[in-house]
Chain A
Amino acid sequence: MPKQPGGQRLRLPLEWLGILPFMIFAVLFLILPTMKIVIGAFQTADGSFTLQNLIDLNTDSIRSAYWTSLKLSFVTALLGCAIGFAMAAAVVFGGLPKGVRNPLVTFSGVASNFAGVPLAFAFIATLGPVGLVTVWLRTEFGINLRAMGFNLLSFWGLVITYLFFQIPLMILIIIPALDGLKREWREAAAVLGATGAQYWRMVALPILFPSLLGTFALLFANAFGAVATAFALTGPQLNIVPIKLFAQIRGDVLGNPNLGYALAFGMIVITALANFLYIWLRVRSERWLK
């Protein structure tokens, strides 16, 4: 192409300047580390290509860790969605005083970010072997949680602890979706003869389905990647993927960073699969939207 006389002056794309810090941050702390993990999963310690790291994932201990992590994420996401939805629905439709909503949303904002050592300590101090609630139930009512099989430092203990941030996260995300249900839809359904249950089954839940699905995926990923709370609560004794991964890459002399990359690669694959499933279902359920 012939060069135009005088040529065009190169314009600095100033409109992109605002998101430059975000792009730098994303490249440095998301894209590059992810690439390093993916590449590292297929490398030996000296940098040559290998599939051995992925083959090494197929051990009883690691398979069990993935299975426990999947179960934990699924159960806490499911319970978080169900309980959080019920609470949000009670606030939005249940006729509760308006004064309840703001404190609940504020608390949810705080609680959804309450994790790690403080959360673990809070639960040990209340539901641990000598926790306040444990002791109170035993001394006041003769209910011995431990004798009944409850142990905070176990799978179900971790489920209860995770729910402390999963339920508030669900509340924060689903309240705007519930607010988006138009009063006219409920009234139109009622005047056409529908009961409350029929309205929810045929109108409200199908409309909410994409939001519920998205929140479930988010809660699943939130639980799947959580390491600080799990480690602070149970130490290395609970066999879940993030703790195993932590053990491999923390620089321990017994660790194998490349096996750690393979573990992380497995987590990326599972999260990606969950997201693809979510996107596929969402597209199917949202075909009625623009």
Chain B
Amino acid sequence: MSFLTMTHLEKIFGQNRVVKDFSLSVEKGEFISLLGPSGCGKTTVLRMVAGFESPSAGGITIDGKDVTGLKANSRNIGMMFQAYALFPNMTVADNVAFGLKVKGAPKAERDARVAEMLALIGLADLGGRFPFQLSGGQQQRVALARALAPRPSVLLLDEPLSALDAKVRVSLRNQIRQIQQELGITTIFVTHDQEEAMSISDRIVVMNGGVADQVGAPFEIYNRPRTRFVANFVGTLNTFEVEVADPASGRVMLAGQGLTLPDAPLAARAGETLSVALRPEALRLGRLPDAEALLTAKVTDVHFMGSVIRLKADLAGAAVSLDTFNRPDTPPPVVGSEVEVSLSGRDFILLQA
């Protein structure tokens, strides 16, 4: 049985159904990300798990116990907030000890746990400081220590990295993942940042309009998006219209060249057009031996991003992005030049809804 279950959750605010028939089972120790644009309902789901919002319908269980009607202070949950939410009138140590103090833990136990938690987050020497004396990253690490100190059964992370600068964000997300794996704590992470979600999650729930569009491992979500929304939201996508040649074998035509899609048999008749997509890295510069089709593209823009160079180009009547690795001995193509692009049918994503 799953450790945390959400079954047919609904949330209605006035006339607005923010969450619609949302179900999810999370295993013990799993790291799940709820990913989606603003207003998709991901934070509302998290707040229902925390106990800050009551579901309009459906139920939530944690470790087999129905917590749907329980107040937030009876659920044994830890939570990190976007805006840190450290208590400004308390020192770092007092913040971390707060959860244990309200539960009546003896001072010796509190002190030992605070020391353990501060060591875990690498701030052992800062227990006597007040939150305003810490950087944003340090404050959020203290918030993590505070959330973990009472040994919660579930950890909820409500966009905890979005207020931090890029470098701190990457370092803290790695630290969160490392601590989560070390403690084996079941974690739900809300974010609108796909890179963040893909880099630290066991599974991702892509949400759209209050429903879970797709649930899967990051590799699966990125490479096999089930809906057009997921395909567009996660990563950059180039879309093409192809003409079906042979539905049974998955054969299609693009700019007069034949390609075999991996989703055969196709649910279309010969002569019909289908929408397909390719990730930028699946459009490969040059004439490659394993390519099924070779097209010529005109470069319209070049973005040097360090290890990767992203080109914008006109290809088969579509404006596309293609990525190529930087090689110190090979300068990138110049704007206006024509380049050969190799394609393989197996890389195409067939877009459905």
**Chain B positions 57-89 with a Cβ under 8 Å from a chain A Cβ:** 71-79, 81, 83-89
Asked if B132 contacts A190 (CB within 8 A), the reply is no
A-B pair number, CB within 8 angstroms: 79
Asked if A202 contacts B83 (CB within 8 A), the reply is no
Asked if B50 contacts A187 (CB within 8 A), the reply is yes
Asked if A194 contacts B98 (CB within 8 A), the reply is yes
A93 nearest CB across to chain B (Å): 15
Asked if A279 is an interface residue, CB under 8 A from chain B, the answer is no
Inter-chain contacts of B146 with A (CB < 8 A)? 188, 192
Asked if B302 is an interface residue, CB under 8 A from chain A, the answer is no
Mask, B110-137, CB within 8 Å of A = 1, is 0000000000000000000011100000
**Candidates A192, A194, A288; contact of B88 at CB < 8 Å:** A288
Asked if A195 is an interface residue, CB under 8 A from chain B, the answer is yes
- A195 vs B78: C-alpha distance when bound (angstroms): 15
Asked if B87 contacts A198 (CB within 8 A), the reply is no
Mask, A201-222, CB within 8 Å of B = 1, is 0110011000000000000000
**Candidates B74, B98, B131, B132; contact of A189 at CB < 8 Å:** B98
Asked if A193 contacts B150 (CB within 8 A), the reply is yes
B116 nearest CB across to chain A (Å): 17
Asked if B210 is an interface residue, CB under 8 A from chain A, the answer is no
- A202 vs B87: C-alpha distance when bound (angstroms): 9
- A193 vs B77: C-alpha distance when bound (angstroms): 9
Asked if B83 contacts A184 (CB within 8 A), the reply is yes
B1 nearest CB across to chain A (Å): 24
12 contacts between A and B (CB under 8 A): A182-B83, A184-B81, A184-B85, A185-B87, A187-B79, A190-B72, A191-B147, A192-B73, A192-B102, A195-B102, A198-B102, A207-B87
Query: Which of B50, B74, B86, B88: most chain A Cβ within 10 A?
Result: B88
- A182 vs B82: C-alpha distance when bound (angstroms): 12
Asked if B90 is an interface residue, CB under 8 A from chain A, the answer is yes
Asked if B73 contacts A288 (CB within 8 A), the reply is no
B54 nearest CB across to chain A (Å): 14
A190 with B73, Cβ < 8 A, contacts A202-B98, A202-B102, A207-B88 known: yes
Query: Which of A203, A288, A290: most chain B Cβ within 10 A?
Result: A288
B185 nearest CB across to chain A (Å): 14
Asked if B52 is an interface residue, CB under 8 A from chain A, the answer is yes
User: Nearest CB to that of A207 among chain B residues?
Assistant: B89
Interface residues contributed by chain B, number (CB under 8 Å): 33
**Candidates B85, B89, B102, B132; contact of A290 at CB < 8 Å:** B132
Asked if B89 contacts A288 (CB within 8 A), the reply is yes
Inter-chain contacts of A189 with B (CB < 8 A)? 87, 98, 102
Interface pairs A-B: 8 shortest CB-CB? A184-B85, A192-B99, A190-B72, A194-B102, A188-B85, A288-B130, A206-B89, A191-B79
Which A positions have Cβ atoms within 8 angstroms of B? 182, 184-185, 187-195, 198, 202-203, 206-207, 287-290
**Candidates B73, B89, B150; contact of A195 at CB < 8 Å:** B73
Asked if B167 is an interface residue, CB under 8 A from chain A, the answer is no
User: Nearest CB to that of B83 among chain A residues?
Assistant: A184
- A148 vs B181: C-alpha distance when bound (angstroms): 72
- A288 vs B86: C-alpha distance when bound (angstroms): 12
Asked if B87 contacts A188 (CB within 8 A), the reply is yes
Asked if B51 is an interface residue, CB under 8 A from chain A, the answer is yes
A194 with B73, Cβ < 8 A, contacts A189-B98, A202-B102, A207-B89 known: yes
User: Nearest CB to that of A287 among chain B residues?
Assistant: B130
Inter-chain contacts of B99 with A (CB < 8 A)? 192-193
Given A182-B85, A191-B78, 5 new contacts (CB under 8 A): A190-B72, A192-B98, A194-B73, A195-B102, A202-B98
User: Nearest CB to that of B81 among chain A residues?
Assistant: A184
Inter-chain contacts of B51 with A (CB < 8 A)? 190-191
- A289 vs B131: C-alpha distance when bound (angstroms): 9
